[in-house]
Amino acid sequence: MSLGPPRLRQRLSPGALLRGLLATRGSIQTPLAAEWRPALEAIGETRRRTALLMNDAAALQIQICVAAARRLPGVMAEAGVLMGGSARLICEAKGRTPLHLFDVFETLQDEHSADADTEPNPDLEAVRAHFGAVHGQRLEVERLLASYPGVLLHPGLFPRSALGLEALTFSFVHLDLDLPTGTRAGLEFFHPRLSPGGMLLGDDYDDPGVRQVFADYFAARPDTVIGLPWGQVLVVKQGAG
């Protein structure tokens, strides 16, 4: 096959050279449709205001799923909020749908908190050992999200912090607790409460322990489980609860 001049020019264009270079590094470059430009701007603005612990593809995926879930019945949730970066992205896309946010926040360090006053708890110790002094501040997250309607914070160790919320159904859940034990608890609480067609977007899917939790949990369930190439996993609920 002959490589005529136009074909050659195309292959040597700056875009093609950039794509080739990125491909050798395991990355891709692709333009976004105009309707997704505001989502990209929301990611940039969120990074300027607070910490956002994910790459742009993962941040964009959150907004894509939230936008799709808005037409489904149910509220939205995030487990693992830290400084509120990904929660702000959910808020940007959710409209008036209520959003429930679960995180230990500063209760992890507070010896007088409800979580610390009870019996020794291996799950709490695991969270403490993993996150150390790194934690979000409830007040700062409240301030960051103050302009969005229907944001409800549930500080404390999950899943205990979800007690009393068993009657909720969810259209979208972002599960970002880092640890396999928390991830398992998140699947057990949220998955049965997802609306049909509802989505659970998990982070840390490149962690073998977290990936195993998803594999075990969904081994005998009919839901669609999609591993995304940037460390997330998307579960689409099939059938009733």
Ligand X SMILES: C[S@@+](CC[C@H](N)C(=O)[O-])C[C@H]1O[C@@H](n2cnc3c(N)ncnc32)[C@H](O)[C@@H]1O
Q: Which listed residue (76, 91, 144, 176) binds ligand X by CB under 6 A? A: 176
Q: CA separation (Å) from 49 to 58, 89, 145, 154, 230?
A: 18, 12, 11, 22, 23
Of 221, 224, 219, the closest CA to residue 201 belongs to: 224
Host H or E run for residue 69: helix 56-69
Identity of the residue, 136 or 198, whose beta carbon is nearer to ligand X in the bound complex: 136
Q: Does 103 bind ligand X (CB under 6 A)?
A: yes
The least distance separating ligand X from the CB of residue 231, rounded to whole angstroms, comes to 11
Q: Does 158 bind ligand X (CB under 6 A)?
A: yes
Q: Does 52 bind ligand X (CB under 6 A)?
A: yes
The least distance separating ligand X from the CB of residue 54, rounded to whole angstroms, comes to 5
DSSP state of 207: S
Identity of the residue, 57 or 196, whose beta carbon is nearer to ligand X in the bound complex: 57
Residue ranges with strand state E in the chain: 75-79, 99-103, 151-155, 170-175, 194-202, 224-227, 233-236
**Interface mask (CB under 6 A) for ligand X, residues 121-150, using x and -?**
--x---x---x---xx--------------
Query: What is the C-alpha separation between 37 and 201, in angstroms, rounded?
Result: 21
Q: Does 183 bind ligand X (CB under 6 A)?
A: no
Pick the piece of the chain touching ligand X (CB under 6 A) from 50-58, 194-202, 219-227, 232-240. 50-58
Identity of the residue, 85 or 198, whose beta carbon is nearer to ligand X in the bound complex: 85
Q: Does 43 bind ligand X (CB under 6 A)?
A: no
Count CB atoms within 10 A of the CB of residue 84: 29
